[in-house]
Amino acid sequence: MPEGQIVRAVGGFFDVRTPEGDIRCRARGIFKKKNLSPLVGDYVIFERTGPEEGVVTEVRPRRTELVRPPIANVEQAVVLFSLREPPFQPVLLDRILVHCERVGLRVCICLTKLDLVPDRSEVEQIAKIYTPAGYRVAATSIRTGEGVEQVKEWLKDTLSVFAGPSGVGKSSLLNEILPGLRLRTGQVSAKLGRGRHTTRHVEIIDLPDGGRVADSPGFSRLDFTGLEETELGDYFPEIREHAVHCAFRGCLHRDEPNCAVREAVDKREIDPGRYRNYLQFLQEIIENRRFKKW
């Protein structure tokens, strides 16, 4: 039976890419019974029902899976946050990074709208926080072209997902990387301080240099359903590095004695802001668990 990869999902249809071209498919009803929905990025087996039509009959095992945006088998996340309009949101960035770490994605951080920032030291301060944690950081401007080539280098020879809140310029940057793409872009609401969703579905786009990228709808909220409090530190790379030296196994790095993580925070080896966000997420996980017991 023929196989391919889902590159687009719209209105219950899945466009499956094969060497012979794209086949528009529906999914068999059996997937609903299994509580399984095919995702963009899935490698699937399908049956042809017409020259360019078919039915997905099987989904191959996934290497990675994201829920928001819903996509499978990506290797890298390019997480975009604007420096202005809307303003930089470190808590939301750290929340997204936790979810990317949890599914094993490489992560690059792209700071957009650099032309709106008069003082470049702001970018340097953000880079000082995230580069030691192992993340690549670039600042870009589609008006000046600055930083765009660096992002292009990140995208070569891999399947990446563009993700981030609405209005940060994901589609605008993709239009700059791939002229002629003409993805819809939107304005940021001055009243709400966030952008409108201009990307309505997830779609894998082929790039000239051999890489592929998935444009996806923006999102502004992610919870930690299913995450245990003892796991959270594993998804902050700098906390994970120091946690092996804590005196107690299962240390939550809050108030335990001889905690190597808190010592690293005191020495500024771990950024205090990142640590505060860790504590905020930890409390959220604990409260969610208590709520479920009621």
Q: State the span(s) of the chain assigned CATH 1.10.40.50.
A: 232-293
For residue 138, which phi and psi values (nearest 5 degrees)?
-140, 150
Residues flagged as binding site for Zn(2+): 246, 251, 253, 259
Could you tell me which residues are beta bridge partners of residue 65? 72
Residues flagged as binding site for GTP: 112-115, 164-172
pLDDT at 203: 87
What is the tens place of the pLDDT at every residue in 52-78?
Answer: 999 999 999 999 988 777 889 999 999
pLDDT at 292: 66
CB-CB contact of 146 with 139 (8 Å): yes
196 pLDDT above the threshold of 50: no
Give the whole-angstrom CA distance, residue 247 versus residue 35.
43
What is the token pair recorded at 165?
Answer: 């809140």
pLDDT at 220: 45
| pLDDT band at 134; cut points 50, 70, 90 | very high
Domain 3-59 classified CATH 3.40.50.300? Answer: no
CATH value of 232-293 in 4.10.91.20, 3.40.50.1470, 2.60.40.1930, 1.10.40.50: 1.10.40.50
105 or 220, higher pLDDT: 105
CATH value of 65-215 in 3.30.360.10, 1.10.1030.10, 3.40.50.300, 3.40.50.720: 3.40.50.300
For residue 233, which phi and psi values (nearest 5 degrees)?
-60, -25
User: Mean of the per-residue pLDDT values for the chain?
Assistant: 88
Q: State the span(s) of the chain assigned CATH 2.40.50.140.
A: 3-59
Burial of 114 (0-12, 13-18, 19+ CB in 10 A): buried
45 pLDDT above the threshold of 70: yes
Residues flagged as binding site: 112-115, 164-172, 246, 251, 253, 259
pLDDT at 126: 98
DSSP 208: T
| pLDDT band at 189; cut points 50, 70, 90 | very low
What is the tens place of the pLDDT at every residue in 232-262?
Answer: 999 999 999 999 999 999 999 999 999 999 9
